[in-house]
């Protein structure tokens, strides 16, 4: 179960990184800044989550993920430290596993009723484990509701909802060093994530694409634990190139002793894997654009990414 939860967190982070949020934010305000603070962003994110959850049947219990809700803006270079954003993720627990798909659909229906917009197409509701990504109008919060696989044979899953705010100015930046997001443990988490990313890049053996908005490295704190998330994409590939690259990634991960799981996505089979030695989580998935997307979440010490 811990593996499923960690993969859900990584999947949600990948969806947020791929949303292009920074472009929409800068279109609204030439300065690229949004007028809000952490408290306002958190309050609005919680409101969007409760809009989806409060009327659900069966009624789930919200279980907060381990990631600290506020962190550096992933649309910026992490080293700049000038903007931050809030990202809140909840697992929807205490409901039967076969209700997960129903809960995701109820979240989607509630958000549609409120006039929120889809990012890309609607979910494939014939899939037993669907996901949906949307954005609020006009304040441009991004949200994802998805189902992680618990037992494919029984059709059981674990639903999760995440909301990510637009990037906004860090109130503490005037008095704090921009590097204040970093500590020794931050750097260790980042080294782990980048090391795994680099080895996956070598295994895929296809060129990477220029970084899109939201891709790159971000570090988050949860009490004494530090997590680093790194995401990137390959250039668009043909179907044959994608199949070969995904097969190479799977062979590499399995040869290195990672615990791997394969799941069906909108653009083909995706790989989720966990390194039993340090708890790092990897997701490698083809996209509808033809690119293969990679996301790595690593902790500052063995086991903290679980």
Gap between the Cα atoms of 108 and 106, Å rounded = 5
Which of 6, 102, 53 has the alpha carbon at shortest distance from 296?
6
Give helix 184-204 / helix 239-255 axis angle, nearest 10°. Answer: 120
pLDDT per position as a tens digit, 10-33: 555 555 544 444 333 333 333 344
DSSP 93: E
Tokens representing 240 are: 């044959």
Tokens representing 1 are: 């179960």
Q: Check: CB of residue 303 under 8 Å from CB of residue 225.
A: no
Tokens representing 229 are: 């998330």
Lowest pLDDT segment from 39-43, 58-62, 69-73, 230-234: 69-73
- 124 confidence band (pLDDT: 50, 70, 90): confident
Q: What confidence score (pLDDT) does residue 27 get?
A: 35
Tokens representing 213 are: 């908005």
Radius of gyration of the chain (CA): 18
Mean pLDDT taken over the chain = 79
Which of 175, 205, 207, 199 has the alpha carbon at shortest distance from 280?
199
Per-residue exposure over 102-111, b if at least 16 CB sit within 10 Å of its own CB, e if not: bbbbbbbebb
**Strand ranges inside the chain, DSSP E:** 61-64, 70-72, 83-93, 117-118, 131-135, 142-151, 156-164, 168-169, 216-222, 225-233, 259-265, 268-274, 281-286, 292-299
Q: Check: CB of residue 74 under 8 Å from CB of residue 131.
A: no
Gap between the Cα atoms of 27 and 305, Å rounded = 35
pLDDT per position as a tens digit, 52-88: 999 999 999 998 875 567 776 766 544 455 778 888 8
Per-residue exposure over 41-53, b if at least 16 CB sit within 10 Å of its own CB, e if not: bbebbbebbebbb
Angle of CA points 268, 261, 187, to nearest 5°: 100
Tokens representing 286 are: 């083809």
pLDDT per position as a tens digit, 182-228: 434 567 788 888 889 888 989 999 988 887 656 777 776 666 677 78
CB atoms inside a 10 Å sphere around CB 92: 26
Q: What are the percentages of helix, strand and coil residues in the chain, rounded to 5?
A: 35, 30, 35
Strand partners, 145: 132, 161
Contact residues for 116 (Cβ-Cβ < 8 A; gap 6+)? 134, 135, 136, 137, 143
SS3 4: helix
Which of 141, 53, 118, 117 has the alpha carbon at shortest distance from 91?
53
Q: Please check the confidence at residue 306 and state whether its pLDDT lies above 50.
A: no
Phi, psi dihedrals of residue 86, rounded to the nearest 5°: -100, 135
The pTM (predicted TM-score) of the whole model is 0.56
Gap between the Cα atoms of 8 and 128, Å rounded = 16
């Amino acid at each position: 179960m811990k593996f499923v939860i960690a993969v859900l967190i990584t999947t949600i982070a990948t969806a947020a990184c791929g949303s292009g949020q920074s472009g929409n934010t800068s279109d609204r305000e030439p300065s690229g800044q949004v007028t809000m603070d952490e408290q306002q962003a958190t309050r609005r994110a919680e409101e969007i989550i409760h809009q989806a959850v409060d009327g659900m049947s069966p009624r789930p219990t919200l279980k907060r993920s381990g990631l600290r809700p506020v962190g550096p803006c992933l649309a910026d270079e992490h080293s700049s430290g000038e903007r931050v954003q809030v990202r809140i993720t909840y697992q929807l627990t205490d409901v039967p596993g076969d209700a997960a798909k129903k809960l995701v659909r109820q979240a989607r229906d509630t958000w549609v009723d409120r006039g929120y917009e889809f990012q890309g197409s609607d979910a494939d509701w014939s899939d037993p484990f669907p996901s949906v990504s949307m954005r609020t109008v006009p304040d441009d919060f991004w949200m994802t509701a998805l189902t992680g696989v618990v037992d494919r044979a029984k059709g059981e899953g674990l639903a999760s909802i995440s909301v990510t705010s637009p990037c906004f100015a860090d109130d503490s930046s005037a008095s704090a060093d921009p590097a204040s997001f970093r500590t020794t443990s931050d750097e260790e988490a980042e080294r782990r994530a980048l090391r795994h990313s680099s080895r996956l890049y070598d295994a895929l053996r296809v060129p990477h694409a220029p970084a899109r908005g939201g891709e790159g490295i971000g570090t988050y704190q949860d009490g004494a634990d530090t997590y680093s998330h790194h995401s990137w994409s390959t250039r668009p590939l043909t179907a044959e190139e994608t199949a070969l690259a995904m097969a190479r990634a799977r062979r590499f991960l399995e040869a290195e002793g990672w615990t791997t799981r394969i799941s069906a996505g909108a653009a083909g089979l995706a790989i989720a894997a966990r390194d039993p030695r340090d708890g790092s989580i990897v997701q490698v998935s083809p996209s509808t654009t033809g690119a293969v997307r990679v996301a790595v979440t690593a902790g500052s010490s063995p086991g903290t990414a679980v």
